[in-house]
């Protein structure tokens, strides 16, 4: 059999960015998104060649901007606030977990159609179980918040087999509605802030309170001995909630690991490769 040209002897081809597979994160604001850095690290580590940029879109303009991106050959997008429901409506096909979440954070060009997926819940669960080492089967979980961020993680949390999942929200009616929607999926109850109960093994802050500069104040009794407090926000935004949780004796984690894990799920959907995440989480924390 004739040997082909040795790879090392081939002339180097410099790809023009326009010919590379293009990805974006769409949001508003989007300037501080760490997704471009995360996906650049994944691409380097897996040997994939792609471009990943930020795309700032005005409220009300999501569908037009997304249509233009995919019509120009874009391969995929991450979608962040406030467009996850717009992305759900935009997708021509949806994964089961996106349908369950009622929101889409990942779009992928597939056979001429745009597929919508939601990797947030899987990202949270992977951070909790693989990175933080929590065993949540049979546990008591308190999920605080009933907006889009909370909705996206209820199904994946119930799939872990907790003994009880309480959804507590400042506006009780929204917690009632969310719990009702997931009742067939497992032992889920709703609560207001006055009656959320006590002794939870895991307390997840899925409210947007910290981003409004109004740190969430929970009674210390919500934490069981050895409990973990988790804020889906990361960095400075999560600090006040996590400091209070630590003062109440809980172990505390922000959502940086979730951010990297949901990105890894998106990368896997797009490129068929699952990047290693621990080194990326450590690098982002150090930065
Ligand atoms: P997201 O998509 O980020 O979840 P959202 O749908 O606007 O955004 O929901 C925000 C969530 O944070 C809600 O659960 C909201 O509670 P209400 O339904 O009562 O508004 C919660 N939230 C926002 N600010 C809060 C605060 N200061 N204290 C407690 N909960 C707060």
- In the chain, which residues have pLDDT < 70? 1-18
Ligand 1: does its nearest atom lie under 6 Å from the Cβ of 147?
yes
Q: Which of 208, 211, 217, 255 has most ligand 1 atoms within 8 Å of CB, for mutation?
A: 208
pLDDT for 18 equals 64
End-of-domain residue from the set 86, 103, 118? 118
| Three-state secondary structure call for residue 80 | coil
Range of the domain at 186: 121-258
Total domains present in the chain = 2
Nearest of 152, 29, 61, 108 to residue 266 by alpha carbon: 108
> Alpha-carbon torsion 104, 109, 110, 114, what sign?
positive
Task: Please indicate, yes or no, whether residues 100 and 111 belong to a single structural domain of this protein.
Answer: yes
Q: Where do we find the tokens 């199904």?
A: 155
End-of-domain residue from the set 85, 118, 151? 118
pLDDT for 212 equals 80
Which residues touch 25 (CB under 8 Å, ≥6 apart)? 33, 35, 36, 52, 53, 54, 55, 77, 78, 79, 80
In a domain, 267, yes or no: no
Ligand 1 centroid from CA 205, angstroms: 10
In a domain, 273, yes or no: no
The ligand 1 atom nearest the CA atom of 212: 24
Which conformational region is residue 86 in: left (phi greater than 0), alpha (psi within -120 to 50 degrees), or beta? alpha
Task: Please indicate, yes or no, whether residues 136 and 106 belong to a single structural domain of this protein.
Answer: no
pLDDT for 210 equals 79
The ligand 1 atom nearest the CA atom of 207: 12
| Three-state secondary structure call for residue 203 | strand
pLDDT for 14 equals 56
The residue annotated as part of the active site, out of 22, 41, 75, 84, is 84
Ligand 1: does its nearest atom lie under 6 Å from the Cβ of 109?
no
Output the pTM of the full model: 0.92
In a domain, 270, yes or no: no
pLDDT for 215 equals 84
Q: Which residues pair with 191 in a beta bridge?
A: 168
Known active-site residue 84: yes
Domain harbouring 130, CATH code = 3.40.50.720
């Amino acid at each position: 059999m004739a040997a082909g040209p040795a790879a090392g002897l081939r002339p180097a081809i410099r790809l023009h960015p326009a010919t590379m597979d293009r990805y974006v994160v769409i949001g508003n604001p989007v300037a501080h998104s760490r997704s471009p850095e995360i996906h650049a690290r994944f691409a380097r580590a897996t040997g994939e060649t792609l471009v990943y940029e930020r795309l700032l879109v005005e409220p009300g303009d999501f569908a037009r901007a997304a249509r233009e991106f995919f019509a120009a050959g874009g391969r995929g997008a991450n979608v962040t606030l406030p467009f996850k429901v717009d992305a759900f409506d935009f997708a021509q096909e949806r994964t089961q977990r996106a349908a369950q979440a009622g929101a889409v954070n990942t779009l992928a060009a597939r056979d001429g159609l745009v597929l919508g997926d939601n990797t947030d819940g899987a990202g949270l669960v992977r951070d909790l179980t693989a990175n933080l080492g929590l065993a949540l089967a049979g546990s008591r979980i308190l999920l605080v918040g009933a907006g889009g961020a909370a909705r996206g993680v209820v199904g994946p949390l119930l799939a872990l087999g907790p003994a009880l999942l309480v959804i507590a929200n400042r506006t009780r009616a929204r917690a009632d509605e969310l719990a009702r929607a997931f009742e067939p999926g497992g032992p889920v109850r709703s609560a207001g802030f006055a009656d959320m109960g006590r002794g939870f093994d895991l307390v997840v802050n899925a409210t947007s309170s910290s981003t409004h500069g109004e740190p969430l104040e929970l009674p210390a009794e919500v934490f069981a001995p050895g409990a973990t407090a988790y804020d889906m926000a990361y960095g400075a935004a999560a600090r006040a909630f996590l400091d209070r949780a630590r003062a109440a004796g809980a172990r505390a984690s922000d959502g940086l690991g979730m951010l990297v894990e949901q990105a890894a799920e998106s990368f896997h959907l797009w490129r068929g490769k699952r990047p290693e995440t621990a080194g990326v989480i450590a690098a982002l924390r150090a930065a």
